[in-house]
Structure 1
Amino acid sequence: MIGRLHVLTDARDGRDALAATGAALAAGAPVAQLRVKGVTDSDLYDLGRRLMALCDEYGATCVVNDRVDIALAIGAHGTHLGNTDLPIEAVRRVAGPGHLIGGTAREPVLAARLVAEGADYLGIGPAYATSTKDGLPDPLGAGGIGAVARAVDVPVIAIGGITLDRVPDLMAAGAHGVAVVTAVSDAADPAAATADLLKAVTR
């Protein structure tokens, strides 16, 4: 079973992509996802190796966004796929049966199809309005997250605009957990923010 709190790296505006994520892992975050746009493959690989080392140190699961090649190169536990990435069956063929594969959906029919194709979990969003990614569709809200969760039998992770006070509604709607960026990276104390989020998703 995949962990309930996923903390994504945040390299926007010149931030240290691993600073907040490392603090979150030290505070007990069970899953870290490498998501960095606009860098070379070699830089992404180097970041991934550093993140994987942190995940090994703290016993966490390491997932790479979009790039199964980077995931395999650094020995990550899984790959999270967007709708324009390689098909799940292709990633499974390359990565093998033990590799964790996440799919991305926002409505029940696609969600069920991705699970049928072999997704181990689904990222669903945006749950709420967010500025960390451009060109996103309208927010789903807790109700939309719940509709997808009811349609599948794998863990559903809500992403997009997640704040501490929104977590209870998402969990009540049927989300298995949440994925966060700024809720940790913009926090004055990323470790304390992580501890609060962990309490909220396991309450």
Structure 2
Amino acid sequence: MSARIRLDPSVYLVTDTQQCGGPAGVVATVGAAVDGGVTAVQLRDPDATTRELVDLGRALVALLRPLGVPLVVDDRVDVALAVDADGAHVGQRDLDPVSARRLLGPERHLGLSVSTPDEARAVAELPPGTVDLLGVGPVRPTLTKTDARPAIGFARLSVVTAAASLPCVAIGGLRADDVAALHGAGATGSAVVSAVCGRPDPAGAAREIALAWATARAEGRSGARSRATTGRSS
């Protein structure tokens, strides 16, 4: 690695080993979902042993790296380094981001979970380049993370993204039909678990979310051009 990993969070898949039917199911689901348009993958399994995480992480790196899709590891910076993942993601109660960046080095991606405007603003006080992406949520109540904070809702999501100095990916019970609202609230992508994991057609589920983001961004650009034209002619 010679430059900071570039991660597109549009369709950010967070894995759930149980919903996918085991480690082999995770690999199969991720492969299908990438075919459908997943742009980044986060390996998350708080119940796995370190050895199990390393084995699964290496399998995902072998699958994703030739496809140019980044893999980050939730919480476990040590596992991210062991499997040569593209980065890690930490929460407010995990390893602090400055220490995580020190371990990861300058090239790998680092994400950080936030739920409040104060947490989002605090990132600006960190050394430049510490964090690359903020995960904001949960937007809706979620059963996939037992220690998740209370849901913040779409209105609060807008407040958090407005306070942030970095791109924000929303997470928490999200579906394809939420994308327009997420885009309007300032999110740059949606992190999904149940919307893809365990679905009969993970490729189709991912494709639906990817199409929704493409549509939301195209409509946003069209609206901006329309407002600019109106402004020039007034």
TM normalised by structure 1 equals 0.94
Question: Aligned ranges for residues 37-186 of structure 1 at < 5 Å?
Answer: 37-117=46-126, 118-186=130-198
Local SS of the residue matching 2:196 = helix
Root-mean-square deviation over aligned CA pairs: 1.4
Question: What displacement does 1:46 show?
Answer: 0.4
2:164 corresponds to which letter in structure 1?
V
Amino acid at match of 2:147: G
Deviation at residue 39 of structure 1 after TM alignment: 1.6
- Measure how far apart 1:27 and its partner are: 2.3
2:14 pairs with 1:5: no
- For these two proteins, the number of residue pairs brought into alignment is 203
Q: Over residues 154-180 of structure 1, what are the superposed CA-to-partner deviations in whole Å (9 max), with x where a residue is unaligned?
A: 110100100111121111110010100
Amino acid at match of 1:172: G
Q: Per the alignment, do residues 115 and 200 of structure 1 end up closer, same or farther by CA in structure 2, a change over 3 Å counting?
A: farther
Name the SS of the counterpart of 2:131 in structure 1: coil
After TM superposition, the score normalised by the length of structure 2 is: 0.82
- Which string of whole-angstrom CA distances, capped at 9 and with x for unpartnered residues, describes residues 54-97 of structure 1? 11132101110001111111111110001111111111111111
* Letter of the 1:136 counterpart: A
How high is the sequence identity, in percent, across the aligned residues? 37
2:32 equivalent to 1:23: yes
Q: Deviations over 1:3-34 (max 9, x none)?
A: 11110111126442322222112223110000
Whether the 8 Å CA contact 1:103–1:123 is kept in 2: the answer is: yes
* Matched position secondary structure for 2:195: helix
The runs of 5 or more residues in structure 2 that have no matched partner are 1-5, 216-234
Q: Distance in 2 between matches of 1:74 and 1:56?
A: 12
